[in-house]
Copies of this chain bind each other. A is one copy, B any other.
Amino acid sequence: MMADVVFVTGGARSGKSAFALKYAQSFEKRVFLATAEPFDHEMQDRIDRHRLERGEGFVTVEEPLYLDRAIGNLPSGIDVVLVDCLTVWAGNLMYRFESPGEKEIDRRIEALLDVLSKPPCNVILVSNEVGMGIVPENAMARKFRDIAGGVNQKVAALSSQAWLLCSGLPLRLK
């Protein structure tokens, strides 16, 4: 039986991580794949709070850039990997690889799509809606919106389920 790819998006504090977590907990052997790096105190607090919320029962893997390898190299016997989140990952890619002529961001996205098209286990991917506010004055922020939005479209397109969380309540997109 083909494993599921489940895409979960929503705004900040919309309940998307809690929804994804609850979904993941319906499986036995679970991996949490964290894309965030604690570059400051506020970020560390968020990471700690999320770790507390998910409790025991997850093996945590940290991978800010090479999601394709992290998913592709999971040991056999894993039932589900929860990736949280694609938007932070898009920011990491942009911070690390952005420069004129650089195609590495596209390559990393393609590599993720490749592994998701033949997933080694069920994959739940959390992402963020970042494009429904006023156009940012900052060119980097506009670029980031484009990259993050492109990732969302591509991952949602090949997912078997997609959900939009709003005020903690799920709307089925697919």
A156, closest chain B residue (CB): B167
Known A-B contacts A14-B131, A132-B131; the reply to A166 vs B166 at CB < 8 A is: no
Q: Could you list 25 examples of A-B contacts with CB < 8 Å?
A: A7-B167, A9-B166, A11-B129, A11-B130, A11-B131, A12-B132, A12-B146, A13-B149, A14-B149, A42-B139, A42-B142, A127-B167, A129-B167, A130-B134, A130-B135, A132-B132, A132-B133, A133-B134, A133-B136, A134-B141, A156-B167, A162-B169, A164-B171, A169-B174, A171-B171
A-side residues, CB < 8 A to B, are 7, 9-15, 42, 127, 129-136, 139, 141-142, 144-146, 148-150, 152-157, 162, 164, 166-169, 171, 173-174
